[in-house]
Amino acid sequence: MRIIFMGTPDFAVASLDALIRSGKEVVAVVTAPDKPAGRGQKLQQSAVKQYAVEHQLPVLQPVKLKNETFLEELKAFKADLQVVVAFRMLPAVVWDMPSKGTINLHGSLLPQYRGAAPINWAIINGEKETGVTTFFLQHEIDTGNILFAEKVAIGDDETAGDVHDKLMLTGADLVVKTVTAIENNNYQEKPQDEILDEEGKALDTKHAPKIFKETCLIDWSKPVNDVYNHIRGLSPYPAAYTHLDGKTLKVYSATRELSKPDVEAGQYETDGKSFLKFACTDGYIALETIQLEGKKRIGIAEFLRGYRL
């Protein structure tokens, strides 16, 4: 079965590697165009392109997915199936091209957390588990018929980065399982609107929209656990932030303290040496790893040694 793989970041590389290692016939890779990055603004290849080049796989990097030249190149590979992992939204002319369709790996248990940032929002919302789902692409984003899903626990102190890495590996295995099932015509599709909760009722769907800068601002008027989940759900990227002396202060890790605050929500307490904690409605968030605007990322003790509050 001839496969075209579509993806861009590290998350996608694990699935591509799993397909190659399992002996699947990946005939080409589609990824994002090279982009300037760093101080020198040198062109940077995507993680998927780097892997594809190392393994001598043909690479397509269309700027526009409806470009006629790209569509002709894609068609020439005569793929039976397309596998999409962490890529962009595809037009119907692309996802409908292979005879066996196009499957996508999504970083949540669909139909929950459809959207661009499923890992972040699951943690921000305090979920205890998430997972990965494979499904066939159709017109509306993340709504296609489900093929397989695998649950993954979210630890109380795990960050988006931690869960990302777990889902990346679990997802890679699920992609191979799904491709093998399609290859052997041994699968069943399940419409997402038929997925019910534990009581047999329709799910109260939770969404995972794109993360914007305003999403990342910490609201200290919320309970400690909500603020804590917000911080770890945005760590290490793009990172939750607050303001200190008029400057942006990113927070990568923190601990929580449930106790009646001595100051109003949003105000901080510090000994100037070892701790800096902000009050919430029902306790404190003690900062651990931070980055002040224009400075490097450091631990709180090192920060306090060099910054007078």
Where helices occur in the chain by DSSP H, the ranges are 10-21, 47-54, 68-76, 92-95, 118-124, 160-183, 213-216, 224-233, 300-306
Please give the torsion angle defined by the CA atoms of residues 164, 169, 171 and 172, in that order, rounded to the nearest 10 degrees: 140
Q: Helix or strand or coil: residue 59? A: strand
Tokens coding 103: 């499957």
Angstrom distance (rounded) from CA 303 to CA 295? 10
CB 51 within 8 A of CB 17: yes
Distance separating alpha carbons of residues 15 and 285, to the nearest angstrom: 37
Bridge-based pairing state of the strands 35-37 and 42-44? antiparallel
What pLDDT was estimated at residue 95?
96
Q: What is the pLDDT of residue 195?
A: 86
Predicted confidence pLDDT, tens digits, the chain (309 residues) = 999 999 999 999 999 999 999 999 999 999 999 998 877 888 899 999 999 999 999 999 999 999 999 999 999 999 999 999 999 999 999 999 999 999 999 999 999 999 999 999 999 999 999 999 999 998 888 889 999 999 999 999 999 999 999 999 999 999 999 999 999 999 999 999 888 888 888 788 899 999 999 999 999 999 999 999 999 999 999 999 999 999 999 999 999 999 999 999 999 999 999 999 999 999 999 999 999 999 999 999 999 999 988
Single pTM value for the model: 0.94
Contact 191, 147 (CB under 8 A): no
* pLDDT computed for residue 39 by the predictor: 76
Tokens standing for 34? 């090279």
Which own/partner pairs from 295-301 qualify as long-range (CB within 8 Å, at least 24 positions apart)?
A: 297/250, 297/252, 300/274, 300/275, 300/276, 301/273, 301/274
**Which helix or strand (DSSP H or E) is residue 104 part of?**
strand 102-106
pLDDT at 308: 85
